[in-house]
Amino acid sequence: MVKISIISVRCPEYVSEDGDLINCLVRSSHIKGEYPFTAYRYDCEDHGREIWHRCNSEEFGPVKPYEAEASLSVDDSIFQLPEEYNEFARFLDKVNEENSKKSFLSMGILWASKLDYLMSELLDAYFNINPSKKKSYKTLNDKVDACGDLNLGIFPSSMKRRFDNIRVVRNKLAHEWDLSIKDRKFKEALKDLYEQDHSATFEFIEDLDFLLQMILSGSCSIAAMEIKNKIEYFKSKV
């Protein structure tokens, strides 16, 4: 895994009474620009623990004390997901668990299975309001092609491009044990996902773990949310 270098940290502030969480603004080697970060004393990632320890030692100046805001009333309903997204949220918890453990084969298989299921659900929702166009599609690739610009017109060509690259990476994960970023087709697929979905946020780092953990999983999430939103749109038209 690539070593993430911390370039700068400012405005550290304790946000838990026990001091285990510190909010701050960070610049690092893998993300473009400054971004908010919550450093956790027991973070599973090295850079998260590093930021916490360096903040706690006041390397970046005094840490603002924790202030309980007991008088602040928050409407919890604002943060509740709609019922139709609850199952999807549980799936994200599971796939993120595999991702955090760097179990990339499991993560890739989970995403491929979920995307296939979502595409089937999308076509069913579409055919419910367009029964004359109903056809049967067996493979994920067939379903993606059917939803493209030249067929049903559900998605623009950018979605097919994303799926083509995801499929290349998923097949490599499923069928090759000795993966390497030196594999031209594998690298090109990951690089194209980066350019399509992540170039405004992340630096492109030629590290296999980083590209699978951040780029592949991120692009799968983008694809899944676009599909899920389309499903709910079509269901609303019934």
SS3 230: helix
Q: What is the largest CA-CA distance in the chain?
A: 67
**Does residue 207 belong to any structural domain of this protein?**
yes
Same domain, 140 and 183: yes
161: β partners = none
Domain-located, residue 211: yes
23 and 133 within one domain: no
Q: Quick one: 212 exposed, middle or buried, by C-beta within 10 A (0-12, 13-18, 19+)? A: buried
One domain, residues 155 and 216: yes
Mean pLDDT of 183-187: 94
Question: Is the predicted pLDDT of residue 77 greater than 70, yes or no?
Answer: no
Give residue 26's pLDDT: 96
Assess whether pLDDT exceeds 50 at residue 72.
no
Give the per-residue pLDDT at 149.
Answer: 80
Q: Which of 84-98, 115-129, 192-206, 223-237 has the lowest mean pLDDT?
A: 84-98
- Dist CA 42 CA 21 (whole Å): 9
What average pLDDT does the segment 39-59 reach?
Answer: 92
41 and 156 together in one domain = no
> Does residue 23 belong to any structural domain of this protein?
yes
Same-domain check for residues 90 and 167: yes
Domain count, the chain: 2
Q: What is the pLDDT of residues 110-163, one digit of tens each?
A: 999 999 999 999 999 999 999 999 999 999 999 999 998 878 999 999 999 999
User: Among 36-40, 80-84, 184-188, 227-231, which is the least confidently predicted range?
Assistant: 80-84
In a domain, 66, yes or no: no
Considering the chain, what is the average pLDDT of its residues? 89
- The residues with which 10 forms a beta bridge, in sequence order, are 25
Q: Of the candidates 2, 228, 236, which has an alpha carbon nearest to the alpha carbon of residue 128?
A: 236
Is the whole model's pTM more than 0.95, yes or no? no
Residue 73 has pLDDT above 70, yes or no: no
One domain for residues 101 and 204: yes
Distance, in Å, from the CA atom of 195 to the CA atom of 218, rounded to the nearest integer, reads 12
Q: Which of 123, 160, 158 is nearest to 141 (CA)?
A: 160
220-231 pLDDT tens trace: 999 999 999 999
Q: What is the pLDDT of residues 4-38, one digit of tens each?
A: 899 999 999 999 999 999 999 999 999 999 999 99
- 3-state class of 41 per DSSP? coil
Is the separation of the CB atoms in 111 and 170 below 8 Å?
yes
Same domain for 45 and 90: no
Tell me, yes or no, whether 62 lies in a domain: no
Does 93 lie in the same domain as 44? no
- Determine the Cα–Cα distance for residues 88 and 92; give it in Å rounded to an integer: 6
* Strand (E) or helix (H) holding 14: strand 6-14
Mark whether 32 and 119 lie in a shared domain: no
48 and 90 housed in the same domain: no
Is 217 within a domain?
Answer: yes
- 215, part of any domain: yes
pLDDT at 81: 59
Domain around 213:
83-236
Is 37 a domain residue? Answer: yes
Smallest CA-to-CA distance from 26 within 3, 44, 52 is with: 52
